[in-house]
Structure 1
Amino acid sequence: MSGASFRYLVKEGFRNTWTNRMMSIASICVLLSCLVLIGSASMIFLNINSLVQKIEDENVIMVYIDDEATDADIDEMGIKLNDISNVEKIEFVAKEDAWAEQIATMDEAQAEFFTETTDEIPLPDAYKVTVKDLNQFTSTVKEIKALDHIYTVRQNTDLAKKLATLSHGITIIAIVIISVLFAISLFIISNTIKLTVYSRRLEISIMKSVGATNSFVQLPFVVEGIILGVVAGVLSLFAVWGIYEVAVKSFADVFRSIGLTALTFADYALPILGIFIAIGIVSGVGGSLITMRKYLTKEGSEISAV
């Protein structure tokens, strides 16, 4: 195919999109609906995942150090904790700081009583350990307990397992829902384009009767699919953005009550726009190719006879 023919077919794709604008608008609306559902579901799952991540970050391992450990022993323990593969970060908690925090949580009378009656701080030094992967939580605790100069280790293995299961379940549900919605959008777009092809069957038959190849006939429809996909993707972004902002304002009190700060949509706008446009183009082009290939294969005899 020459460059001139390619440019002609691309122009035809743009022209046909406008000429058949009612069908184009219908296709855009269908794809827009599916993308809005996909985007809304994605933001819900992102917020749920953010909440799970927040709980995971708070589910740390507290490693209390033996009182007989020297400063050198404590420093060496910190190095060994950092060397454990599943440890993301450690934070040393001096017993003086921990005791000051405990006193701060008491009322005035309790704080005065403990301050006056306690000569020595009844807490050991400790390391706060944050793990990378909760699936390896149990094995990480075992590695930590094997270190020297440890008084005790405080952890919540059951919560870690539940969080790991919940996070895995959320990921699977998100993938399933998005996949189903994508399949639905592809199916509906194909059927919408099928109506477009049917309304332009005379034009297609003329092109075929003068010797046009299948790829020559298909290209304008592919261009239409790209146009529809891009337009639907951009419109869907603004639609999801608006819906999300309204939902965040409506449920702001609920979020505050559970200590959750809703994610800022602007931080995800560009990735979502890219995904929307990609899905729109794949749906539009895929629907066009599937429909045209079936039509040109099964209806070839009818086209020739028209």
Structure 2
Amino acid sequence: MSKAFERYQRRKLISSYFSVVLSIALVLFLLGILGLLVLNTKKMADRSKEQITISIFLKEDAKDMEVEQLQKTLAMSEYTKSATYVSKEEAAAQHSKEIGEDFVDYLGYNPLKNSIDVKLNADFVTAEKVAEIAATLEEKSYVDEVSYDRVLVSMVAKSVEKIGFWILVASAIFTVIAVLLINSSIRLSIYSKRFIIKTMQMVGATKSFIRKPFLWQNIKLGMLGALLALLAIAGVIYYVNTNFQDLGLLEDPIILVILLVGVFLLGIVISLLSTYFATQRFLNLRTDELYY
């Protein structure tokens, strides 16, 4: 009979530990994925901004030396990511490919102009800065027109700000929820041992002596849960990097290491603090309050 009871207690204890580890792992996994999203939000936003093109259309009488000098000046400018010269013949060929017919043969001449396509660095893609750059370029005598999608520039800038703000808000809310969930799991685990805690206290054990094994046990559970979460996060990173290489998740390995280490340490810290306050609560209860 006693052996059966011991087996029952052992299974109950293992089940309790398993639920704590699983809850910690799931919460830290979701928190890590959210952290990964936060860290890569700016990168993804920058990639979107850097796809916007400013087209500088040149006059027919623009000299080769002037065009070459402009292209070099643009390439050396701090706001330029790339500057590509596009002849009107290349532009016509590309346009004909897009519409599916040779419009030059139909018109009898090529109405397009030579141009330089400029992609800007992300930090300069705002409505004000792009307008300032375009105005400066239009002042050159051999530049016929500077064209870009003003609506798109404004929309992208505003969307990035809104997305960044709400992701930060969501991160803060989810972090609080994560702490509460892990704290609840650990507290329930310790609740089942409240009579043992009170018995040890009644026979003269100090609070620090009683608290120590609980702290160490739940720190180990926190570490185990964090390791499981890290394995799952690593799997997600590998999958995303394999199937969506344009995101460049592995371009900044230091940031990834910081994120993974942060998730691991967070699991330990939350487990430590939750265990400390849970045990402290039961240590401070009177004997008659243990039944409520």
Alignment TM-score, normalising by the size of structure 2: 0.70
Following superposition, the deviation at residue 64 of structure 1 comes to 1.9
Determine the structure 2 residue equivalent to 1:174: 167
Determine the structure 2 residue equivalent to 1:279: 266
Larger deviation: 195-204 or 277-286?
Answer: 195-204
- Residue number among 148, 152, 174 corresponding to 2:145 in the alignment: 152
Determine the structure 2 residue equivalent to 1:136: 126
Determine the structure 1 residue equivalent to 2:6: none
Please say if 1:127 is aligned against 2:127: no
- Mapped partners of 1:263, 1:69: distance in 2: 40
Determine the structure 2 residue equivalent to 1:101: 94
Following superposition, the deviation at residue 179 of structure 1 comes to 2.6
Following superposition, the deviation at residue 263 of structure 1 comes to 5.6
Letter in 1 for 2:60: D
Mapping of residues 262-273 of structure 1, within 5 Å: 273=260
- Mapped partners of 1:64, 1:112: distance in 2: 22
Letter in 1 for 2:179: L
Cα separation, partners in 2 of 1:88 and 1:125, compared to 1, 3 Å: closer
Determine the structure 1 residue equivalent to 2:7: none
- Mapped partners of 2:61, 2:145: distance in 1: 13
Cα separation, partners in 2 of 1:40 and 1:261, compared to 1, 3 Å: same
- Mapped partners of 1:262, 1:129: distance in 2: 17
- Mapped partners of 1:266, 1:19: distance in 2: 42
Contact 1:230-1:281 within 8 A present in 2 as well? yes
- Residue number among 49, 63, 79 corresponding to 1:56 in the alignment: 49
Please say if 1:291 is aligned against 2:281: no
Please say if 1:78 is aligned against 2:71: yes
Cα separation, partners in 2 of 1:199 and 1:150, compared to 1, 3 Å: same
Alignment TM-score, normalising by the size of structure 1: 0.67
Larger deviation: 29-38 or 237-246?
Answer: 237-246
- Mapped partners of 2:11, 2:143: distance in 1: 74
Contact 2:85-2:116 within 8 A present in 1 as well? yes
Larger deviation: 91-100 or 267-276?
Answer: 267-276
- Mapped partners of 1:282, 1:95: distance in 2: 63
- Mapped partners of 2:74, 2:246: distance in 1: 33
- Residue number among 220, 223, 227 corresponding to 2:216 in the alignment: 223
Letter in 2 for 1:75: E
- Residue number among 140, 154, 162 corresponding to 1:161 in the alignment: 154
Mapping of residues 179-198 of structure 1, within 5 Å: 179-198=172-191
Percent identity between the two aligned chains = 17
Following superposition, the deviation at residue 246 of structure 1 comes to 10
Contact 2:91-2:112 within 8 A present in 1 as well? no
Contact 2:38-2:168 within 8 A present in 1 as well? no
- Mapped partners of 1:126, 1:243: distance in 2: 40
Residue 61 of structure 1 aligns to a residue whose secondary structure is strand
Following superposition, the deviation at residue 284 of structure 1 comes to 1.6
Contact 1:87-1:132 within 8 A present in 2 as well? no
Letter in 1 for 2:26: S
Residue 58 of structure 1 aligns to a residue whose secondary structure is coil
Letter in 2 for 1:143: I
- Mapped partners of 1:185, 1:31: distance in 2: 8
- Mapped partners of 1:217, 1:42: distance in 2: 36
Following superposition, the deviation at residue 154 of structure 1 comes to 0.9
Cα separation, partners in 2 of 1:19 and 1:220, compared to 1, 3 Å: farther
Following superposition, the deviation at residue 272 of structure 1 comes to 6.0
Please say if 1:29 is aligned against 2:22: yes
Following superposition, the deviation at residue 201 of structure 1 comes to 3.7
Larger deviation: 84-93 or 268-277?
Answer: 268-277
Gaps of 5+ in 1: 1-16, 253-259
- Mapped partners of 1:133, 1:102: distance in 2: 30
- Mapped partners of 1:200, 1:272: distance in 2: 34
